[in-house]
């Protein structure tokens, strides 16, 4: 057990083996607490991700008047108050590092006659919120924010929001979800159009709780969603699948390190989340799926991943939404591929927990890799990685885990500072990696 996770040092190891149990899906975990809180009755959630981001949403829901308890068997009970039962919180809602938590909850508050102020950490306070607050204002909410639409944001919601007819410039599940959540109490049908389909966990879970939600993919690839307003949500248990975005790290680590052969059971296989698996397979990755099944309304499978020689490919822009959180670790995989990997249509990476195009590319270059980028693309040429550098996580969990993975194949160790941020999505990352054979060590040697 690592006693200090602030700075971790990653070096080569002899291959990963065994079973890697990644935690619950972050997106579905947030939604289970939020929609469970808006339902009538008690929702039991099993497999919840107990990471900092989800716990921030849990605390915010409690501050909004929902009782949420953690049971002895590990499950969570959400005692819903119905779609109009929330109360104004006495203190600002601090969502920490969580873009999903803050943006979805803004939608919830906008559609109720309550007022809440939202805040977050340094990273979240730099991220754009107007993409959410503008459509919510159009639905009737009164909103004030810091200059440039940044946190802190205060929202005075309305009991009878106008139905939305929102067309989003970007494929973003957070924007779409905020509008749909505000539309639950609207009198008419709310519609959201996005240029490509983003993850649809909100739509699936709304249906699971009894709402009427229709999705339609047009011939040109645009995605249309409509929610019938004045929805009544009824509690329904939720089994959270394991997170494909967290599975990405052991997957790539196993592909890259000789002699590796691991299984990663119970991974969510929603087609709007599996772009990285498709891409790694196209690159020559030995990934096999077995035991494909449906759990809690989401497709799930067990993965087996073995060390493979990868080859560079062009990753199509249309795939970006289905692997948006996986580009940092894909760029790490591409440093070990034979040839050039081009990723296009990835400008959204610039407004994540960090500017992920710049931070990933600069880190790879500092470690001795070959990479170039512009506003909307990144190109990595495979080759030797010297390592021997220190990378700052900059409050970005996926940056921290990506460079710890790069350290597994670099000549000299890679040190990553600020690894506490990994707790936002993958609290046991280092322990689980080492349990399968990795050599991650806390700086100072205290493992
Ligand atoms: C998420 C949506 C994505 C993703 C984030 C989780 C969600 O963000 O990057 O980690 O749970 O809705 P965008 O919707 O901004 O693309």
Task: Tell me how far the alpha carbon of residue 384 lies from the centroid of ligand 1, in angstroms.
Answer: 32
Give every strand in the sheet of 7-11, ordered side by side. 390-392, 414-417, 7-11, 439-442
Residue that finishes a domain, picked among 216, 239, 262: 239
Mutate to test the pocket of ligand 1, among 25, 27, 133 (most ligand atoms within 8 A of CB): 27
Domain annotation covers residue 292: yes
For the domain that residue 305 is a member of, what is the CATH number? 3.65.10.10
Question: Which residues are near ligand 1 (CB < 6 Å)?
Answer: 27, 100, 172-174, 177, 198-199, 324-325, 348
Per the structure, the complete domain to which residue 251 belongs is given by 2-24+241-442
What is the share, in percent, of the chain residues with pLDDT greater than 70?
98
For residue 27, which atom of ligand 1 is closest to its CA?
11
CA separation for the pair 48, 54 (Å, rounded): 8
Residue that finishes a domain, picked among 203, 224, 239: 239
pLDDT of residue 296: 75
Q: Are residues 114 and 204 in the same domain?
A: yes
pLDDT tens-digit map of 315-326: 999 999 999 999
pLDDT of residue 147: 86
For residue 104, which atom of ligand 1 is closest to its CA?
12
Dihedral of the CA atoms 161, 166, 171, 173 (nearest 10)?
A: 10
Q: Are residues 426 and 332 in the same domain?
A: yes
Q: Are residues 255 and 234 in the same domain?
A: no
Mutate to test the pocket of ligand 1, among 324, 421, 424 (most ligand atoms within 8 A of CB): 324
For residue 30, which atom of ligand 1 is closest to its CA?
11
Res. 445 pLDDT band, cuts 50 70 90: low
Q: Are residues 270 and 163 in the same domain?
A: no
pTM for the full predicted model: 0.97
Dihedral of the CA atoms 217, 220, 222, 228 (nearest 10)?
A: -40
Q: Is the pLDDT of residue 224 over 70?
A: yes
Q: Are residues 364 and 217 in the same domain?
A: no
Q: Are residues 366 and 230 in the same domain?
A: no
CA separation for the pair 308, 259 (Å, rounded): 9
Q: Are residues 337 and 303 in the same domain?
A: yes
Res. 1 pLDDT band, cuts 50 70 90: very low
Q: Are residues 194 and 301 in the same domain?
A: no
* Mean pLDDT value across residues 67-95: 98
Residue that finishes a domain, picked among 181, 210, 239: 239
Interstrand relation of 213-217 and 223-228 (parallel, antiparallel or unpaired): antiparallel
Indicate if 243 belongs to the active site: no
> Distances from the Cα of 98 to the Cαs of 118, 189, 328, 336, in angstroms?
11, 29, 18, 31
* Token pair for 96: 């920490």
Q: Are residues 393 and 314 in the same domain?
A: yes
pLDDT of residue 355: 98
For residue 176, which atom of ligand 1 is closest to its CA?
14
- Overall domain count for the chain: 2
- Ligand 1, atom 16: nearest CA belongs to which residue? 172
Cα dihedral across residues 59, 63, 68, 70: positive or negative: positive
Task: Tell me how far the alpha carbon of residue 100 lies from the centroid of ligand 1, in angstroms.
Answer: 6
3-state secondary structure of 350: helix
Q: Are residues 370 and 332 in the same domain?
A: yes
b (16+ CB within 10 A) / e for 279-289 = bbeebebbbee
Task: Tell me how far the alpha carbon of residue 37 lies from the centroid of ligand 1, in angstroms.
Answer: 21
Residue given tokens 């469970």 in the structure block: 36
Q: Are residues 258 and 329 in the same domain?
A: yes
pLDDT tens-digit map of 254-306: 999 999 999 999 999 999 999 999 999 999 999 999 999 998 789 999 999 99
End-to-end Cα spacing for the chain? 6
Identify the active-site residue in 52, 243, 325, 396. 325
* Mean pLDDT value across residues 416-426: 97
Please tell me the number of Cα atoms within 13 Å of 3 on its side-chain side: 4
Tell me if 416 sits within 8 A of 445, measured CB to CB: no
CA separation for the pair 317, 339 (Å, rounded): 19
Tell me if 360 sits within 8 A of 331, measured CB to CB: yes
Mutate to test the pocket of ligand 1, among 105, 174, 356 (most ligand atoms within 8 A of CB): 174
3-state secondary structure of 356: helix
* Mean pLDDT value across residues 29-54: 98
Domain annotation covers residue 447: no
Name the phi and psi angles at 408, rounded to 5. Answer: -75, -15
């Amino acid at each position: 057990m690592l006693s200090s996770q602030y700075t971790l040092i990653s070096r080569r190891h002899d291959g990963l083996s065994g079973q890697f149990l990644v935690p619950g899906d972050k997106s579905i975990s947030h939604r289970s607490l939020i929609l469970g809180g808006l339902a009538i009755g008690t929702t039991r959630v099993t497999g919840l991700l107990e990471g900092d981001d989800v716990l921030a949403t849990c605390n915010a829901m409690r501050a909004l008047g929902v009782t949420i308890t953690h049971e002895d068997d590990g499950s969570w009970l959400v005692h819903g108050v119905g779609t109009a039962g929330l109360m104004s919180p006495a203190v600002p809602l601090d969502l920490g590092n969580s873009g999903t938590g803050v943006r979805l909850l803004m939608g919830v508050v906008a559609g109720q006659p309550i007022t809440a102020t939202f805040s977050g950490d340094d990273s979240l306070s730099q991220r754009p919120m107007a993409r959410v607050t503008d459509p919510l204002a159009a639905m009737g909410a009164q909103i004030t924010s810091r200059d440039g639409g940044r946190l802190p944001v205060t929202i005075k919601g309305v009991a009878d929001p106008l139905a939305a007819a929102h067309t989003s410039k970007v494929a973003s599940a957070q924007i779409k979800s905020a509008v749909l959540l505000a539309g639950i109490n609207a009198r008419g049908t709310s519609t959201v159009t996005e240029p490509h389909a983003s993850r649809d966990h909100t739509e699936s879970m709304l249906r699971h709780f009894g709402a009427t939600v229709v999705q339609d993919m047009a011939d040109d690839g645009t995605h249309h969603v409509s929610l019938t307003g004045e929805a009544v949500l009824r509690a329904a248990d939720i089994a959270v699948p394991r997170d494909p975005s967290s599975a990405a790290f052991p997957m790539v680590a196993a592909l890259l390190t000789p002699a590796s052969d691991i299984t990663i059971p119970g991974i969510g296989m929603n087609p709007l989340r599996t772009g990285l698996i498709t891409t790694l397979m196209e690159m020559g990755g030995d990934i096999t799926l077995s035991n494909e099944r449906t759990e809690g309304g989401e497709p799930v499978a067990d993965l087996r991943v073995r060390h493979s020689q990868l080859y560079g490919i062009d990753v199509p822009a249309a795939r970006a939404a289905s692997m948006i959180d996986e580009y940092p670790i894909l760029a790490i995989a591409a440093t070990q591929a034979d040839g050039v990997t081009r990723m296009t249509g990835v400008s959204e990476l610039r407004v994540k927990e960090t500017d992920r195009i710049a931070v990933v590319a600069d880190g790879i270059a500092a470690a001795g890799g070959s990479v170039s980028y512009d506003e909307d693309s990144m190109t990595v040429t495979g080759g030797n990685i010297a390592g021997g550098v220190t990378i700052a996580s900059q409050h970005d969990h996926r940056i921290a885990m990506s460079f710890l993975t790069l350290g597994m194949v670099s000549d000299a160790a890679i040190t990553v500072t600020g690894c506490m941020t990994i707790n936002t999505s993958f609290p046991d990352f280092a322990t689980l990696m080492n349990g399968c054979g990795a050599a991650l060590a806390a700086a100072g040697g205290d493992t």
